[in-house]
Each structure stands twice: as C-alpha cells, then as structure tokens.
Structure 1
C-alpha cells in the first residue's frame, strides 16, 4: 500500500438549498447529502486529488464539504463497500491502491462487456450524437496535443453512449462501475495515449455510424487492448510482477 498521507486540499462546500433540513438529510432536489458527499469524494479520487494512500478523516472532510459528519460517514461507508477506500491498521480509512493484477482483471472484463456492447450499439446511436462525438475527437487532434481533461470527458461520453444504446441496464451499470475502478489508476498518467486514443475513438464512431457491428466490436477491442498495454507498460516495471490477465 502507498504511504498514508492526510488529505489537505480544499473541496468546495456542498451547496445546500434552503429546503435542506437536518431531519431529512436531503438537499431539496431529492438527493441526500450522503449521496452528494459520495459524488464529491469519488470525483476527487478519480481526478487524483485524493491519491492512493490518502488518509480520509471524517471530521476534516465534513469541514471541507461544509456538512455534518453523518453524511460523510455514509459516503465513506459506500466508498468502502465499493472498494475505493480501505482500512489502514484496522481503523483508519485511506484511498485504496488498485493492485496491477486486479487492474488487468478489470480491463479484461471490460473488454468482454464493452466489445459486445459496441457490436449491439452499432446502428442504434443517433446521428446527431455521433456527429457531436466525432467533432470532439477531431477537434482534439487539431492542436499540438489533446487536452487530457477534454479527452477523458469525451472518452466517458462515448463509452457511456455505447453501453446505454446496448439496451441492457445491468450491462450499463456494470461497465460504468468498472470504468470508475479503472480510473483509480489515474489515466492522466498516460499522456502518450491521447493522440492514438482519439484515432481509436474515431474508428469506433465510424463503425457505429455505418451500423457495422463486427467493425465496432473490432475497434472497441483494439482500443481497450491498447489501453491495457499502455497501463501494463507503465506499471509492470514498478510492480515487478507479471500479471496473468
């Protein structure tokens, strides 16, 4: 496990409308403060603000978010149940470091599910959405180097559109969960993937536009295998372990 460090970066307080009450624990929009705290904490983990090994102190997080400790406790319990945080020394909660073997296994499962989803989605995604996605990736290829934040946002959008178009709610939830766990690696560590990734995404969009399910499967499989190889090349020398997946 990575060394434990205390989270000190400031998070914008959760804005709670006047309708919020201590009894309801809701924000007036039907979403509990615990859920909103969960969203903010998970975002910071996926963005690398809270890196692996960061100590998550309930009181400090409550102060950062501008809410009581109860919703923070609920959020941390959910994050622990989903494998994003773990207990250090049996008591302290820290951001969990995903082992290389586990990361490779997640990518293997993603390849199985998302390759099939791409084949099913071919011909189902609206033309306007595909044109918008094409513009996003083509625009990123116009400059000297794609913007990492814009790239990963577009990546999320494309993969989300595909699993939604596949028409299987269980598949969509599963893939989104696995993608979040992949992002614990902090994909910003892969700047060399930005340009090739744009071209791979455009190949997927091409196949979806043509309604060619087999080509969509092939393009998605190629994209995910290249991602896996890049992560492996980055992490394997550090781990000293050759993963089986």
Structure 2
C-alpha cells in the first residue's frame, strides 16, 4: 500500500467519499439558502440565519447528539426514513450527514458574500427586459457567483474532511463503515505503537486542508476580480 497502510488508506478513502457526498448534497440547499439570505426579505430571516450558523457555535458533540435524536433509529425522523430504506445511524451515510451539517455554514457564508457582491442593478436591468426571476438568476447572477460557489464548496469539502465530534457522536467509530480520517487518528492514538500511523494521517490532513485553503483563496480572488469588472 506504499506510505500508508491498508487501514489508513481505508480511512482516507472513506473520508473522501463522505466529504464528496456531503458537499454535493448540501450544495443546492446551500445555494438556495445563501440567495434567500442575500436577496430576500421575509419574517424570521434572522432566525434562519442563526440556525444556519448554529453548528459553528454549538460544540460538535451537541450537534452530533441532536442528529442522533433526530435521525437515529428511534429518532423523530430516523424511524420513518428507515421504513423506506434510508438509514443514517452508524452508517457512512450518517457520517456524510454529520459532515454536511457541520460544513453547511461555511458553504452558505462564502456563497452569500459572493451574491451580495453582485450589483442588484444588473439583475434589475435583466428583469426590465422581460426575463423571469429564475432566468435572471441563471443567466446573470449564477455566472458571476460561480467562483464563490466553488470557494464555498471547497471550504465545505475541507471542513467535512476534518469533521470529528459530531460524526463520532452520531455514527460512532466503526472501521470500514464510519471511521473517517480524524476518527482513525483518534483510534490510533489510543493504542500502543499507533503514533506512526496517526502521524501519517495527520500529514495527509494538513496537506488536504492547506490545498483546500489555497484553492479557496484563489477562486475567491477570481470571484472578486470578476464581480469588480462586471
């Protein structure tokens, strides 16, 4: 297996899978939420904004416990979803859900800032020409905020890769099923001689995190230049 052992590769591969699905599934809802917070006025807007950012403030263990209460097999929604074949508790899908919830605020914030940077007059001009609101968004707003969407997705992916507290609380630490990269580091540090594998996974984590941050900064600068030149 080269530099990483089989168990380490398994944790890295599972983390990539979990993070990718968490990002892809959260992306449409994140874009909708960011647009609503940036452009719409509606009752309870500040409450929605607070709920969106709540995972950033709450201890991750608390978020994981709330997910367990809601989506566990005996939870408010978990039992109903299990009846149609959707199971989150102690599955990799639950790890993806936890990672997506924790990464959601970063995704929404990046996309919201990108939308707010677009001059509303550009959208109004398209609307005066007879374009519907959805068409204005697709043809005017979306191309301008695309770098911001990419930046938000990259940040969310990196956050999902590093998620630990909510994940281990919600779906435990099951090798091959829910043991993501951070969980594997924790597990290796609990056994004698595990420092070497843990250190290798730490290096992998740092490389992925730094790569994501650099990529996010690059697309954010491109977004600012693109909107500024619009």
TM-score, structure 2 normalization:
0.28
Q: Considering fraction of residues, name the structure with more helix.
A: 2
Indicate the structure whose relative CO is greater, using CA pairs within 8 Å and at least 6 residues apart.
Answer: 2
Q: Considering fraction of residues, name the structure with more strand.
A: 1
TM-score, structure 1 normalization:
0.27
